[in-house]
Structure 1
Amino acid sequence: MKVTTRINGNLITVAIPILLIASLFILAKSEAFASNISSLSIGITLDLLFTIPAIYFLLIRKKAIPKITVVPFFVMGMLIAFQIIPKEHQFILKWVKTWIFPIVELSVILFLVYKIQQIRIQYKAHTLQKPDFFTALQEASRAVIPGKVSTLLTMEIAVIYYGFIYWKRKKLSKNEFTYHKNSGTIALLIALIGIIGIETYVLHILLLKWNHIAAWIVSGASIYSGVQIFGFLKSITKRPISIENNTLLIRYGILSEVSIPIKDIVSIDITSKDIELDSTTRKLSPFGNLENHNIVITLQKEYILNGLYGSKKSFQTLVLFVDQKEDFKTMIENNPNFLNQHVEKSNRIQ
């Protein structure tokens, strides 16, 4: 309920300045504007450049929304003003573009550099305790940038890092287990990248006959999707499932993950039988039935599976694929916390 209320509040916060911009756009196309073009041009320009961004700032000042999001409304207002205000009445716009906009642009760049430096400092601090890049980056980003922005930033950096920077072969420890070698996921993602490449080329050729800008926009979006999938693919090979400090760290690249104390595991079964997925039974892989499974883990209570771009799903039974399934099952069942939990359960039954 609280989450829904917060989401609705954020939507209203964004909707108010957008509605104000739309009303000014309508005013600029009206007969009233044509009959009083000089004074209304000044008023609309000032409202788009300063009044609406100021109203938006007042709406978000006590919220978790980053204050830097005021800048897009300023830029959007300036772009719209150049479109709807006649050129002979754009003297304020031109002055703002020449003197104010460069200051805003420089401020944004300095702000981003400062935040990146903060993330680097936080990342170094977290990597001393947590060597996994994605985990350290998540915590560093959350410490510097609030809300959903940190999640989006983390994911974009991780895609680039795993896709194009981290090429060193991952050496597994005894407590680490892969899940991509025999599952068929890598082949699936490679095929998907190939399909995107072919479709991008064909669609680009067709769209060029209609509109060059549209062709390059669509092609750019497709290439970006291909880059993301490649980053996801590489992350699957670099982030194994592991058992550390009596905790089971279940990962599926940067696509999904969850940490489970071994004491909360009721059972771990090796099975490839079809399992009906519902609100309490989830599959680790976001590809669902496109990927096989061979392990089913049942827990004492519900946990949250963290997914792509901050999505969350509750579960009490998790279905996944592990290449070394027997070793994985044995290591968990031989863990003292798992054994103690079952001994206590047996004693209670007696």
Structure 2
Amino acid sequence: MESSTTKLMSKMPLICLIVFSIVWWYFFNHDLWLKDYGEAKSDWLLLIDMAITLPIICIVCINPKKLALLKSLSYFALFVVIGSYIIPKQHQVIWPHLTELRYILLFGFVFIELSVISCVIFAIRQAILRNNDPDIAIGKPIKKLVGNGVLASLLKFETRVWSFVFCSRFIKPSAYRGEQHFSYHLKEANQSNALGFILMICFEIPLMHLVIHFVWSAFAANVITIVTCLSLVFFVAEYLAMSRRPISIDSKFLYVRYGVFNCLSIPISDITMIKLSSGYIRRGPNIKRFNFSGNPNICISYQLNNNDVETVYLGIDNPNSLVSALAINHTHQSKTLN
């Protein structure tokens, strides 16, 4: 109950922003007795809600307060954009100056965000240097900031990408949870193929930019180049993670890590089948594939909490060793439970 109330409170500033926008749009575009039937339409009235009311709501409803401040600044900039549309042009006196101020706010917001990201990366780097599990080092600060959920998963993924780009030389496979670690970067020359793909993208970017610039437009060329560069960052992180982020097992769990994607933890006691695999595997509702190239060589089925069975296909360098280790651990756990 408390968590649902907290979630509702965190959404209150956005709800209020929408309500304020509708109310002020009606105020500026309809003749009411409140504004002397169209005679008084001063745009500074909107500043009361924009600069005072909404920031107070953010501070009251959002924790931590640093996040509340960032939300206040972002809503202020958004309110400036909304105001330029809902206030008639003939009544905009202060607003033309505020539209110039939004660029300063945007710069400040980006600077603060980059500072926060730098601090998180520094904290993760220190944890990695202490030989802590990099996934735990990434997950802890994000969990404190946004809790668990879809947003947390996305932030973990994004942070992991940048961590491998900037801190990969400090990451060792042995630092991850697990007693035995298994690699997958040599299968079908996965890492070599990834490097070739990265070099191909690097060669393509300037040529593609020039072609789009002259054939289409400079703006489209810039947008596509930026998106391509961001995808290149992902591929570089994936390439670096292949040989550093292993699949691992301990006495209780199988930790499926593949590249930079989020870890899948499978209780060994829930595993119902372990076998070698060959041939093409089609996608399915209860099928997950972790394989870069070629066909996966291990099939693992396990029981979910709702009694459904999910099957995971893995492609690793030495499938026999993982199958043997899982079988031994599974047998040991069954004897312990009995």
Distance 1:160 1:122, change over 3 A: closer
How far 1:54 moved relative to its partner? 5.7
1:321 aligned to 2:315?
Answer: yes
Per the alignment, in what secondary structure is the counterpart of residue 187 of structure 2? coil
**Residue 43 (structure 1) aligns with:** 45
State how 1:59-70 maps to structure 2 within 5 Å. 61=62, 67=68, 68-70=70-72
Q: Answer with 13-22 or 182-191: which moved more.
A: 13-22
Residues 17 and 55 of structure 1 are in contact (CA less than 8 Å); yes or no, is this contact kept in structure 2? no
Partner letter of residue 181 of structure 2? E
| Distance in 1 between residues matched to 2:112 and 2:230, nearest whole Å | 26
Q: 2:218 aligns with which of 189, 192, 212?
A: 212
Which residue of the partner structure matches residue 332 of structure 1?
326
Q: How does 1:1-350 map to 2 (within 5 A)?
A: 14=14, 17-18=17-18, 20-21=20-21, 39-51=41-53, 61=62, 67=68, 68-81=70-83, 89-91=92-94, 94=97, 131-146=132-147, 149-167=151-169, 170=172, 175-186=180-191, 187=193, 190-191=196-197, 194-195=200-201, 198=204, 201-203=207-209, 205-207=211-213, 210-285=216-291, 291-299=294-302, 301-302=303-304, 316-335=310-329, 338-341=330-333
3-state DSSP class of the match of 2:169?
coil
Question: Which residue of structure 1 aligns with residue 3 of structure 2?
Answer: none
Deviation of 1:21 (Å) = 3.7
Q: Distance in 2 between matches of 1:40 and 1:342?
A: 76
Q: Decide whether aligned partners of structure 1 residues 208 and 47 sit closer, same or farther in structure 2, where only a CA change above 3 A counts.
A: farther
Structure 2 partner of 1:307: none
Cα distance between partner residues in 1 of 2:169 and 2:126: 20
Structure 1: runs of 5+ lacking an equivalent: 1-5, 305-313
Partners in 2 of 1:121 and 1:169 — Cα distance? 14
Answer whether contact 2:139 2:156 (CA < 8 A) is retained: yes
Moved more, 49-58 or 228-237: 49-58
How far, CA to CA, are the matches of 2:207 and 2:20 in structure 1?
41
Q: Secondary structure at the match of 1:238?
A: coil
SS of residue in 2 equivalent to 1:39: coil
CA–CA separation in structure 2 for the residues paired with 1:216 and 1:26? 39
Structure 1 residue 323 displacement after superposition: 0.5
- Give the distance between the partners of 1:51 and 1:103, measured in 2 at CA: 18
- Residue 137 of structure 2 aligns to which amino acid in structure 1? A
- Matched residue SS, 1:327: helix
- Give me the whole-angstrom Cα distance separating, in 2, the residues matched to 1:71 and 1:39: 25
SS of the residue aligned with 2:159?
A: helix
Q: Say whether the 8 Å CA contact 2:125–2:167 is kept in structure 1.
A: no
Instruction: Provide the identity percentage.
Output: 18
Q: Does the CA contact (< 8 Å) of 1:78 and 1:93 recur in 2?
A: no
Gaps of 5+ in 2: 1-5
Cα distance in 2 for residues equivalent to 1:216 and 1:87: 35
- The code of the aligned residue for 1:294 comes to N
Distance 1:342 1:21, change over 3 A: same
Q: Write the distance in 2 (CA, Å) between the matches of 1:264 and 1:256.
A: 20
Q: What is the one-letter code of the residue matched to 2:159?
A: I
Q: Show CA shifts across 1:327-346 (max 9, x none).
A: 222222233xx22345589x
Letter in 2 for 1:319: Y
For 1:95 and 1:326, the matched residues in 2 are separated by: 66
Give the counterpart letter for 1:250 in structure 2: V
- Residues in 2 aligned to 1:185 and 1:315: alpha-carbon distance in whole angstroms: 29
RMSD: 5.1
The more displaced of 189-198 and 153-162 is 189-198
Deviation at 1:222, TM superposition (A): 1.8
| Contact persistence 2:280–2:295 (CA under 8 A) | no
Instruction: Give TM-score, length-normalised by structure 1.
Output: 0.67
Report the AA paired with residue 331 of structure 2: L
* Alignment: residue pair count: 325
The answer to whether the 8 A contact 2:182-2:318 is kept is yes
Secondary structure in 2 aligned to 1:167? helix
8 Å Cα contact 2:10/2:62 also seen in 1:
no
Q: Secondary structure at the match of 1:254?
A: coil
SS of 1:317 mapped into structure 2: strand
The answer to whether the Cα contact below 8 Å between 1:250 and 1:258 also exists between their aligned partners in 2 is yes
- Closer, same or farther: CA 259–48 of 1 in aligned 2, 3 Å: same
Letter in structure 2 aligned against 1:236: M
